[in-house]
Chains A and B, each alone.
Chain A
Amino acid sequence: MINIDKLFKIGNFYITNTISSTIIVDIIIIIFIIIINIKKNIIPNKIQVFMECVILYFEEIFKRIAVHCNTEITNFICSWSLAFFIFIAVANLTGQVPGFHFIKISVLNNNTITTIPLFRISTSDINLTLALAFISIFLSHFFCIKCKGIKTYCTKFITLKAFPIFLFVGVIEFISEIVKIISLSFRLFGNILAGELVIKKIYNLFAFCVPVPFIIFEIIVSLVQAYVFAVLTMVFMNIMLNELY
Chain B
Amino acid sequence: MNLSLSGGIIVAIGGIAPAISIGVIGLKAVEATGRNPEASGKIMINMLMAMAFAEAIAIYSLIATIF
Contact = CB atoms under 8 A, between A and B. Distances in A.
Given A1-B1, A194-B62, A224-B49, A187 B67 contact: no
Contacts of A2: 66-67
A134 to B, nearest CB: 18
Interface residues of A, number: 16
A170 B42 CA distance: 36
B16 interface: no
Contacts of B62: 190, 194
A159 interface: no
Given A1-B1, A186-B59, A224 B52 contact: yes
A1 B56 contact: no
A187 B48 contact: no
A192 to B, nearest CB: 10
A186 B60 CA distance: 7
Contacts of A1: 1, 66
A154 interface: no
A191 B67 CA distance: 15
A15 B48 CA distance: 35
B48 A191 contact: no
Interface in B9-67: 48-49, 51-53, 55-56, 59-60, 62-63, 66-67
B56 A183 contact: yes
Contacts of B67: 2
Contact of A231 (B49, B55, B59, B66): B49
B48 to A, nearest CB: 5
Contact of B60 (A190, A224, A228): A190
A183 B52 CA distance: 12
A191 B52 CA distance: 9
B63 A189 contact: yes
Contacts of B63: 186, 189-190, 193
14 contacts: A186-B60, A187-B52, A187-B56, A190-B63, A191-B55, A191-B59, A193-B63, A193-B66, A220-B48, A224-B52, A225-B52, A227-B48, A227-B49, A228-B53
Closest 6 CB pairs of A and B: A190-B59, A187-B56, A228-B52, A190-B63, A224-B48, A224-B52
